[in-house]
Amino acid sequence: MKVSVAPHVDVNECIEFPGICQNKGQCYNSIGSYTCQCVAGWTGKNCKEGT
């Protein structure tokens, strides 16, 4: 029996979810994920936590 696996399609969260990085954070897409580079005074996955 032959089993086929559908190819993984990466979602660019930075394009699909505009504003995912809040408070002027810069979004960077990676395979399977994304990261936010926060501006001074903000931290957290989506730059929502004030310091």
Predicted model pTM: 0.78
Nearest-Å Rg of the Cα atoms of the chain is 15
Per-domain residue ranges of the chain: 13-50
State the pLDDT at residue 49. Answer: 98
Residue ranges in the chain assigned as alpha helix (H): 13-16
| Cβ atoms of 46 and 21 closer than 8 Å | yes
What's the pLDDT tens digit per position in 3-30?
A: 666 677 899 999 999 999 999 999 999 9
Task: Read off the tokens for 12.
Answer: 């660019």
- Looking at domain 13-50, its CATH class is mainly beta
